[in-house]
Structure 1
Amino acid sequence: MSPASASSRSASVAPWFGAVVVLQFAHLFAVATAAPERLALVHDVAGWVSGLLAVAGTFAAASAFVSGDYLRKVWGGLTAGAALSLVSAALRSYWLHTVPDVAFTASPLLPYRMVAVVLANIATTYALVLLAMTYRQSGLQPPSSPRTKALWAVTAIAALAVGIPSLVTEVRNLASGVNSAPSAVISLASTLADMTTIFLVAPILSVAYMLRGGRLAWVWWAMGLSGATWLLYDARVWLAPLLPGDAAHGAELLRTLRTSGLVLLGLAGWLQRSALGPQKVEAPEASLNTSAGMS
Structure 2
Amino acid sequence: MTFATLYAMRGALAEDSMYFIVSVLALGAAALGGLVAALAYDPGDYMRRAWALIGLCYVLLVVDTLAFGITSRSAERDISALGAVTSATLTFVANVCSVVGTVLIARAWRAAGLDLGVSAAVRWVAMLLSLALALWLVGEGAWHDVQTLLGGDWRALVYLASSLGDIVSLALVAPILLTAYALRGGSLGWPWALLALSSVGWLLYSAAGGSLGALVLGPAAEAAARPLEESLRTFACLAQLCAGLLQASVLAASEQPLPARPAFARMP
Question: Structure 1 length normalisation: TM-score?
Answer: 0.74
2:29 maps to 1:50 = no
Separation in 2, partners of 1:42, 1:71 = 35
Separation in 1, partners of 2:18, 2:218 = 21
For the Cα contact (< 8 Å) 2:128–2:171, is it kept in 1? no
What is the CA distance between 1:112 and its match in structure 2? 2.7
Q: Give the AA of the match of 1:217.
A: G
Q: 2:136 aligns with which of 151, 154, 161?
A: 161
Separation in 2, partners of 1:69, 1:208 = 20
Q: Deviations over 1:189-227 (max 9, x none)?
A: 111110011111111111111111212111011101111
Q: SS at the partner of 2:252? A: coil
Matched with 1:250 is 224
Separation in 1, partners of 2:26, 2:79 = 23
Sequence identity percentage: 28
Taking a change above 3 Å as real, the CA distance of residues 142 and 108 of structure 1, as seen in their structure-2 partners, is same
Q: Deviations over 1:244-264 (max 9, x none)?
A: 652212211221200011111
What is the CA distance between 1:152 and its match in structure 2? 3.5
What is the CA distance between 1:167 and its match in structure 2? 2.6
What is the CA distance between 1:148 and its match in structure 2? 6.3
Query: Which sections of structure 2, spanning at least 5 residues, go unmatched?
Result: 71-75, 257-268
For the Cα contact (< 8 Å) 2:88–2:161, is it kept in 1? no
Structure (1/2) with the larger helix percentage: 1
Q: Looking at CA atoms only, which structure, 1 or 2, has the larger radius of gyration?
A: 2
2:48 maps to 1:72 = yes
For the Cα contact (< 8 Å) 2:138–2:163, is it kept in 1? yes
Write out the 4+ residue segments of structure 1 that deviate beyond 4 Å after TM superposition: 145-151
2:95 maps to 1:121 = yes
Matched with 2:156 is 184
Taking a change above 3 Å as real, the CA distance of residues 117 and 86 of structure 1, as seen in their structure-2 partners, is same
Range with greater deviation from structure 2 (147-156 or 253-262):
147-156
For the Cα contact (< 8 Å) 1:104–1:110, is it kept in 2? no
Query: Which sections of structure 1, spanning at least 5 residues, go unmatched?
Result: 1-18, 95-101, 282-295
For the Cα contact (< 8 Å) 2:141–2:207, is it kept in 1? no
Matched with 2:185 is 213
**How large is the Cα RMSD of the aligned pairs?**
3.0
Q: Deviations over 1:263-285 (max 9, x none)?
A: 1112111111101113499xxxx
Matched with 1:144 is 118
Matched with 1:290 is none
